[in-house]
Chains A and B, each alone.
Chain A
Amino acid sequence: MDEHDGGGAVRLGVADPWTEALAVGPWEERSGPSPDPEPAAAARRECDRTAVYRQVQAGEAFQEVRRRYRRFAFPAVGACLVWYLLYVTAAIMAPGLMGRPVAGAVNVAMLAALAQFTTTFLLTWAYARHAGQCRDQAALELRWDTQERVR
């Protein structure tokens, strides 16, 4: 990564999709000096790029990736947020329940805290596994495909 700084001039005619991807980042496109001598051509390129992204977004492959991501992440985040808020609410509204001894000095409150830790560890593991198995490959193919077309 050392030899290109990513913020400088836009390189045209480089075949490597990584470098090209950097060069067509929206920051340079909109802010830096236009690489194209002709502004109309630059606008056309921008237009093409947007069209490609909209096509990809509408495509079945992308919709599938998005569905898989959202079907896991949204319910999981929602559930853990609700579970955490329940825990906090119980701590203030029902201290009697939270203070009920379970075994020796260990009470419900202690077990609830440990349960929060356990669910966090488990969900982290489950999400990483789900993403690796169900999403990564498809997302990577879409990435190269999109970058080819944007070029």
Chain B
Amino acid sequence: MTGRIEPTAGQVHQASVQLAARHSVVGHQALALALFTAFVSITLAITVWVGRGRRSSEEFFSGGRLFSPLENGFAISGDYLSAGSFLGVSGLIALYGYDGVLYLVGFFVAWLGVLMLVAELVRNCGRFTLADVLSARMSERPVRIAAGISSITVAVLYLVAQLVGAGSLVSLLLDGEAAHARTWTVVGVGALMVFYVVFGGMRATTWIQVVKTALLLGGSAVLAFLVLARFHGDVGALLRAAAHGSGHGAAYLRPGLKYGGSPLARLDFVSLGLALVLGTAGLPHILVRFYTVPTARAARRSVVWAVALIGAFYLMTMVLGLGAAALVGSGAVRASNAAGNTAVPLLALHLGGGAGSTGGTVLFAVVGSVAFATILAVVAGLTLASSASVAHDLYGSVRRHYAPSGTPDAREVAVARLAAAAIGVVAIVLTLYAQELNVAVVVGVAFAVAASANLPVLLLTLFWHRFTTRGAVWAVYGGLLPSVALVVLSPVVSGGPGAIFPRIDFAWFPLQNPGIVSIPLGFLAGWLGTVLSPVPADPGRHAEVEVRSLTGAGAA
């Protein structure tokens, strides 16, 4: 990193404005690198320290189940507050104003569903993964394989979003010209996440989330405070300045700038809104969090903590996005990264005194390393959740089928470690093709797949007494296949300047977000599978799930 920049640093005596800016780039690179190295060292130390000598699957997948609600609340926030919100949504607000706010509202309102319908019941019924809840009632093998596949799909999509965020962040830090540095960052972040999961398991991952949430909330609070201080605490002045700085005037503060044009764009907006509000309850890395606390009551209290922390963070994100439009200007944000992913780092540079100043350099470096920490922690959580699905759901089913008498525990953990490495490789390779996408858009797609494939089956299992195994399997595939197919056929993948394959066009589905079609399909498939089931639902096992889910009897 430094090697590339040194010749530039040697020319600073020419003292042009541009080179002064370059100089600050060198300064913040060194500082950001130092801060980030510090974070990585601390987290590696945590990983090695808490990972010692703990080999049971209970430890690896759920961290011993003895975290407190406060700790788990921080960890849930850590898993949830991704680069998608810190970089992506603030960038969308900086570019499109009010339409970016929709993301935050959807992300946040979703927690009511998680709190009331999912958290406690999932804690009571399951053991490590979503599939545990389903197989408490259904025939084990088919539902386990289905739920495992869909959880892994969601996690990999979400991983790609995070790694894209890491890539655009580093290309900003390196002044936007180092394509191979970006590639190496993606690879490096991927390697770190695999290390955390393989050596630390859930316990280390949880502590990394806690540290990250504290850093993220602290960093955002400082920036939001500085933005508001710049406007003497006058929110009206901030809004006016943001509208002015965006170049759109009053339209910036109204809905419609991004999604307002054609009826299709409006439909896309509704689709996204549905995906955001329903997807959270189906995110595998959020669901596994509920197993790290001892009881359903603790799971509920950790969600209450998470709601408080996440709500506070989103309110600050709004201030940051508006601040970036007001102080940096939408044009400058777009010039740095067309999707807006670098709005907050640019805002930090400006707030500290602009390019070349010490304050700007320090703030930029702090924000850059906080964003890196955010990305690292989220990818670790995702990798853990998906490796749990591979080992506990997929491998577990296959092994039980072919060799019913094995020692399940140690081998499942070993498989999970291998799976973590494999998933890391897959996500890295996909990311290298997706580097121009907006992080928040990819996150929206991941939410849509989660809402279509995981949510219907989970809710129907918990609340519908007639739901059968066939219904469950159909619900998963009936949501998963359409949502993935529609994403592949959407403008996100092909046919546009920001797509993964910009030169070929097979975008037959006009919406960026498939939610409005695929979520109803998931529920419909679940109902259809149940109606067409050869055997009716077993009332005994329904009774067991209902009693267990509401009382906690027999909970792991």
Contact = CB atoms under 8 A, between A and B. Distances in A.
Interface of A: 1-2, 4-8, 21-22, 24-27, 30-33, 49-51, 53-54, 56-57, 62, 65-66, 69, 72-73, 76-77, 80-81, 84-85, 87-89, 91-93, 95, 98-99, 103-107, 109-110, 113, 116-117, 120-121, 123-125, 127-128, 131-132, 136, 139-140, 142-143, 146-147, 150
B505 interface: no
Given A7-B58, A105-B253, A117 B311 contact: yes
B266 A27 contact: no
Contacts of A4: 58
Contact of A5 (B57, B251, B405, B539): B57
B259 A92 contact: yes
Given A116-B108, A117-B314, A95 B260 contact: yes
Interface string B25-44: 00000000000000000000
B311 A142 contact: no
Given A7-B412, A33-B405, A95-B256, A84 B544 contact: no
Contact of B112 (A1, A50, A76): A76
B64 interface: yes
A117 B551 contact: no
Contacts of B250: 99
Contact of A92 (B54, B270, B308, B555): B270
A53 B544 contact: yes
B496 to A, nearest CB: 22
Contacts of B409: 5, 7-8
Interface string B285-299: 000000000001100
Interface stretch (B12-20, B132-140, B358-366, B443-451): B132-140
B270 A88 contact: yes
B224 to A, nearest CB: 15
Interface of B: 54, 56-59, 64-66, 98, 101-102, 104-106, 108-109, 111-113, 115-117, 120, 127, 132, 135-136, 140, 235-237, 239-240, 243, 250-251, 253-256, 259-260, 266, 269-270, 273-274, 277, 296-297, 300-301, 303-304, 307-308, 311, 314-315, 400, 404-405, 407-409, 412, 539-541, 543-544, 546-548, 550-556
- A-side interface mostly: helix
A28 to B, nearest CB: 9
A26 B58 contact: no
Contacts of B259: 92
Contacts of B544: 26, 49-50, 53
A124 B307 contact: yes
Contacts, number: 218
A109 B253 contact: yes
A49 B303 CA distance: 32
A20 B253 CA distance: 59
Contact of A140 (B58, B105, B552): B552
Given A104-B236, A113-B101, A80 B109 contact: yes
Contact of A62 (B111, B407, B550): B550
A147 B109 contact: no
Q: Is the interface of B mostly helix, strand, loop or mixed?
A: helix
A30 B256 contact: no
Contacts of B552: 139-140, 143
Given A21-B555, A116-B109, A124 B304 contact: yes
A53 B540 contact: yes
A139 B135 CA distance: 23
B325 to A, nearest CB: 13
Given A2-B59, A136-B297, A150-B554, A92 B255 contact: yes
